[in-house]
Structure 1
Amino acid sequence: MSLFNMPLLIQDTAAIEGDMGMLWMLISGILVFFMQAGFFLVESGMTDSKNAVNIAMKNFLDIAVGSLAFWFVGYSLMYGADMGGGFFHWGGFIFSQGAADLFFQTVFAATAATIVSGAIAGRTKYTTYAIFSIVMTAIIYPVAGGWEWNGGWLNNTDGIMPAEFIDFAGSSIVHSVGGWAALVAAWMVGPRIGKYLNGKPIEMHGHNQMYATLGVFILWLGWFGFNGGSQLAWGGDDATAASQVVLVTNLAASAGAIAALLFTWIKNGKPNLGMTLNGALAGLVSITAGCGNMSEGGAVLAGLVGGILVVLSIGFIEKTLKIDDAVGAISVHGVAGAWGTLVIGLWGVDGDAGIGIFNGGGAAQLGAQAIGVLSYAAWAIVTSFIFLFILKKICGLRVTEAEEIAGLDISEHGTIAYPGKRQREME
């Protein structure tokens, strides 16, 4: 029995069963809701203190407006009846198949929107971001979710799919969609003032690395609900499966953190906290698609690769593409999300059977995963560009230079996060 082919219980696709199943879904949804606090702490801690209120306002907006938008139209686009080839769904306004599932999927939608927030921190108009957050939670994410989680075209092996696409909890559906949207947004908004000098990136330190660290711990905790809740049931064998999902999630996160820590230590001579934090998040994203189809050893290796990949990706995006991602969101969610989806085709398992090419499964699953990765990237990039281009023409994407220098807390919200600090600076 190989490292990548140990028996593993996988997701039961049946409906949520009984009171325990609904309770587990609600608890998991509450944990994912708490991840919004983690995102706020990571984003604010990794950026300038003069924009902390703005980041708080964006995170509150994502969950509040996102909840209403997803309830009103997004859930219908995701879980409604097939309206054409498994590409689009619709069930009517305020459509629902149950409170537990609606709530659980709502907090997923808010997560997808929040990913964009960190990448464009410090220079984006709040009004523009608010509108785009609604678009993400009402249209872009729900349509993408229906392709896989509502029996969409990615599940249709009678069509172009060589095998059924697998994304257990959303490495591509949630994280890559958010990451590729963040890529487009960061490119269109442009870099922060002072980020590049003669074409070379200047490191812009965050104002509170302790906030960022606490934020990652909260996200790590919330991810147990994010992935474990995607089991959609609890009881009997399903309890074992949900526990296994939580276990491999923790292993991958740990491996990602250690990989990024050691890689930066060897590369730069000192272990880097920021990269270690992003390594943990990359490990979490790397196991999100395969947490129901990965052995424990496979999860560790997936996280290790994700932790190294995120360090390389952040450098490539910043130095080669000249795109300013304030918190590394594109790499953590977009790049690691793609990797986490593809790895199922390398050493994924289905119960006792291997479905990845390295454990005797052949190339069909890897082909299906690659089609899914490319399709979600294309969908997120094209739709994000269209909506952001329209917003740019109507209301603009970026604040003025004077407003950016003063800080978005003052210019966009008329307040500051640390009044004592500002008073000391004036004195």
Structure 2
Amino acid sequence: YPLYGNWAWGGGWTSQLGVNYGLGHGYCDFAGSGVVHAVGGITALAVSMIIGPRIGKYTRTGKANPMPGHDMTMVLIGCFILAFGWFGFNPGSTLGASGNGNLRIGTIAVNTMLAGCTGSIASLLYMWIRFGKPDASMAGNGLLAGLVAITAPSGFVNTVGAAIIGFAAGMLVCLSVEFIERVLKVDDPVGAISVHGTCGLWGVISVGLFADGTSNYGGSWNGVNGNVTGLFYGDPSQLVAQLIGCATLVGIIFTLSYVFNWLVDVVVGQRVSAATELQGLDIPEMGALGYPEFQLVSASLEVPAAD
């Protein structure tokens, strides 16, 4: 994160692609679809590949077994808490509410809301059409996917673009979850790789497509005069800068994350024993059950041994 953050936000080489090579305004990532989310998602992919799937996740033939979460209400409450926090994350990245383009804070807030809503709707519709039932957990992931995707372009796009970006992210997260689980055989319990990694990269790319050239942050961005403008509004070079940023992120950050975490795995270890995994980590790690009612129900269902 600090390395890629410096390249994008600290005056590093990706931010200077416009100044040095004439590629739009250089790599643009308003609030961190790439710097924050995609870096986290790509790192999650590397670590998940090292750790391997949970016991029982895959059959001997390689078929994925569903392992649903313990409490859908808690899952969706968590999603809504995250969505609420995003209104500080994205609009707050203007670092002010007046002067030098900071009045755009209102548009950024609306863009954030729209993308989250359309992302959730898209995931809900996709799962309903494909599997015959709406999936609440994927609707939550669609909400987060839309929010992740709009994080980079929120300061550069209009409301129509935000709605399209969010809807596309909601569809994309469903496809990505299935691909990662069934094709790559990587066990991602909550879809974090898809939500943050895949949709984070989509958010970065969408700047190069949907930036409408109306944002004004003191008359320049990354040292290039004028406003950030994407392919659909007349500047294809901005898309090139965004793609270079994505390629750098996937290639370098994944490699560094994999190597570092592989060393941690060799020296310290990244996975508990099979016995601890089957028991659950609450007692071994924390000394108390997070959900004691599970234990009570389990105990009440035990069949007494025969005399």
TM-score by length of 1: 0.65
| Pairing 1:26-425 to 2, within 5 Å after superposition | 141-156=1-16, 157-159=18-20, 162-163=23-24, 164-197=26-59, 198-236=61-99, 238=101, 240-351=103-214, 355-361=229-235, 363-425=236-298
**Identity over aligned pairs, percent:** 43
The CA distance in 1 between the partners of 2:279 and 2:291, in whole Å, is 14
Aligned residue pairs total 286
Name which one, 1 or 2, has greater alpha-carbon Rg: 2
Q: Closer, same or farther in 2 for the Cα pair 1:357/1:239, shift >3 Å?
A: closer
* Range with bigger deviation, 343-352 or 254-263: 343-352
Cα deviation, 1:77-102, whole Å, max 9, x if unaligned, reads xxxxxxxxxxxxxxxxxxxxxxxxxx
User: Which protein is richer in helix relative to its size?
Assistant: 1
Runs of 4+ with deviation above 4 angstroms? 236-239
Q: CA deviation at 1:413?
A: 2.1
Q: CA deviation at 1:155?
A: 1.9
Cα deviation, 1:222-256, whole Å, max 9, x if unaligned, reads 00100011111122565531111111000000010
The CA distance in 2 between the partners of 1:267 and 1:229, in whole Å, is 38
Structure 1's unaligned 5+ residue stretches are: 1-140
Q: CA deviation at 1:207?
A: 0.4
SS, match of residue 397 in structure 1: coil
Q: CA deviation at 1:158?
A: 4.5
SS, match of residue 349 in structure 1: coil
The CA distance in 2 between the partners of 1:200 and 1:161, in whole Å, is 48
The CA distance in 2 between the partners of 1:370 and 1:179, in whole Å, is 17
1:252–1:283 Cα contact (<8 Å) kept: yes
Structure 2's unaligned 5+ residue stretches are: 216-226, 301-307
2:107–2:158 Cα contact (<8 Å) kept: no
The one-letter code sitting in structure 1 at the alignment partner of 2:38 is S
Q: Closer, same or farther in 2 for the Cα pair 1:368/1:237, shift >3 Å?
A: closer
Q: Closer, same or farther in 2 for the Cα pair 1:269/1:420, shift >3 Å?
A: closer
1:341–1:369 Cα contact (<8 Å) kept: yes
2:304 corresponding residue in structure 1: none
SS, match of residue 188 in structure 2: coil
Q: Closer, same or farther in 2 for the Cα pair 1:142/1:161, shift >3 Å?
A: farther
Cα deviation, 1:254-293, whole Å, max 9, x if unaligned, reads 0100111111111111111011110010000110000001
The one-letter code sitting in structure 2 at the alignment partner of 1:331 is S
1:161–1:368 Cα contact (<8 Å) kept: no
Cα deviation, 1:328-374, whole Å, max 9, x if unaligned, reads 0000000000000001111212217772222222x200000000111
The one-letter code sitting in structure 2 at the alignment partner of 1:306 is A
Q: CA deviation at 1:159?
A: 3.8
SS, match of residue 90 in structure 2: helix
The CA distance in 2 between the partners of 1:354 and 1:187, in whole Å, is 37
The CA distance in 2 between the partners of 1:418 and 1:381, in whole Å, is 35
* Range with bigger deviation, 166-175 or 372-381: 372-381
The CA distance in 2 between the partners of 1:222 and 1:314, in whole Å, is 24
Q: CA deviation at 1:301?
A: 0.3
The one-letter code sitting in structure 1 at the alignment partner of 2:6 is G
2:57–2:66 Cα contact (<8 Å) kept: yes
SS, match of residue 196 in structure 1: coil
TM-score by length of 2: 0.90
Cα deviation, 1:39-76, whole Å, max 9, x if unaligned, reads xxxxxxxxxxxxxxxxxxxxxxxxxxxxxxxxxxxxxx
The CA distance in 2 between the partners of 1:312 and 1:421, in whole Å, is 33
1:155–1:161 Cα contact (<8 Å) kept: no
1:354–1:360 Cα contact (<8 Å) kept: no
The CA distance in 2 between the partners of 1:420 and 1:182, in whole Å, is 31
**What is the root-mean-square deviation of aligned Cα atoms in Å?**
1.5
The CA distance in 2 between the partners of 1:239 and 1:172, in whole Å, is 22
The CA distance in 2 between the partners of 1:324 and 1:161, in whole Å, is 41
2:95–2:102 Cα contact (<8 Å) kept: no
The one-letter code sitting in structure 1 at the alignment partner of 2:233 is N
1:314–1:331 Cα contact (<8 Å) kept: yes
